[in-house]
A and B are shown apart, each in its own frame.
Chain A
Amino acid sequence: MIQSPNPELDLTISRVIKAPRSAVWSAWTDPGSFEQWWIPAPAKCKVVDMDLRPGGAFTTRISEDGGDFKPHLSGCFLRIDDLERIVFTNALVGGWRPAEQAFMTAIITLRDHPMGTDYAAHVMHKNGADRAMHQEMGFHDGWGTVAEQLARLVERRS
């Protein structure tokens, strides 16, 4: 149920992951697994809440370079369809309480594919003014150096 994407505010990432849907689902929904890929190294992610039901809290913290864990994502799940779909937003926090700062809703979709799983993330953003805050948050995620860190990860793995 994705309604008319807005090219200025929305983005869609899709990828065929060569693994069964159950494996991708578990990487997303098991907090210990999620922590290992959500944030690029050397920053570390800690899942505080991952209450997988509509209205359930979704809270993560981030530690950059091994320091204290600071707030990162603070949101709630809007919809959970087992093995198929995860919808979350930071416009609300756990128990549907309105969030102080809101800028996005993300829809994660998993579909069967002959090669494994067709994975898609559709992310909708609020308009311009709130981007300042998101930009700051994106900065924590290290978006400026994501490519570089990925390269390092690949080198380590290979």
Chain B
Amino acid sequence: MEQYHQQLDRVFQALADPTRRAVLGRLGQGPASISELAQPFDMALPSFMKHIHFLEDSGWIRTRKEGRVRTCSIEKKPFAAVEAWLSEQRALWEGRTDRLERFVAASQQQEKPE
């Protein structure tokens, strides 16, 4: 479970950056080479590569090298994790509602002399 949370943290951290979101947005249209992906950004290649590595480590993308060209493509799995996030939020609010219900029920009981 702890490992799952750490993994999920990485998935969300990856999204918390505009460059990485833009890269994912571009890859949503289909695979692209590193140079193609880097082109819209005013950024040195080593800095850009850090973002690519982050995306790869967090599982958002896959890279493949053919000759001198490294091609990136998007992975489907993290999208499921993001969906899972909403169900976690649901669980949080369900929990709150359960506790509110119990609290109110217990208060009602106390008011009634038995």
Taking a contact as CB atoms under 8 Å apart, the answer to whether A143 and B92 are in contact is: yes
Give CA–CA (A129, B21) in the complex, Å.
Answer: 8
Taking a contact as CB atoms under 8 Å apart, the answer to whether A15 and B101 are in contact is: yes
Taking a contact as CB atoms under 8 Å apart, the answer to whether B89 and A123 are in contact is: yes
Taking a contact as CB atoms under 8 Å apart, the answer to whether A13 and B90 are in contact is: yes
Taking a contact as CB atoms under 8 Å apart, the answer to whether B103 and A33 are in contact is: yes
Contact residues in A for B95 (Cβ distance below 8 Å):
40, 141, 143, 146-147, 149-150
Taking a contact as CB atoms under 8 Å apart, the answer to whether A15 and B97 are in contact is: yes
Give CA–CA (A53, B92) in the complex, Å.
Answer: 25
* B44 interface hit (Cβ, 8 Å): no
Contact residues in A for B15 (Cβ distance below 8 Å):
128-129, 131-132
* A48 interface hit (Cβ, 8 Å): no
- Assess A146 versus B92: contact at CB under 8 Å? Given A37-B99, A132-B16: yes
Main secondary structure of the interface of B (DSSP, over half): helix
* B43 interface hit (Cβ, 8 Å): no
Give the total number of A-B pairs whose CB atoms are below 8 A apart.
110
Query: Size of chain A's interface in residues, with CB distance under 8 A?
Result: 42
* B57 interface hit (Cβ, 8 Å): no
Contact residues in B for A143 (Cβ distance below 8 Å):
88-89, 91-92, 95
Give CA–CA (A33, B110) in the complex, Å.
Answer: 14
Taking a contact as CB atoms under 8 Å apart, the answer to whether A40 and B8 are in contact is: no
Which of A23-31, A54-62, A76-84, A85-93 lies at the binding interface?
Answer: A23-31
Per a CB cutoff under 8 Å, which of B12, B85, B96, B108 touches A37?
Answer: B96
- Assess A24 versus B99: contact at CB under 8 Å? Given A132-B15, A132-B16, A143-B88: no
Give CA–CA (A150, B102) in the complex, Å.
Answer: 10
Taking a contact as CB atoms under 8 Å apart, the answer to whether B107 and A27 are in contact is: yes
Q: Besides A11-B93, A37-B99, A128-B82, 4 other CB < 8 A contacts?
A: A9-B86, A13-B97, A38-B96, A150-B99
Leading 6 A-B pairs by shortest Cβ distance: A132-B12, A37-B99, A146-B95, A37-B103, A132-B16, A143-B92
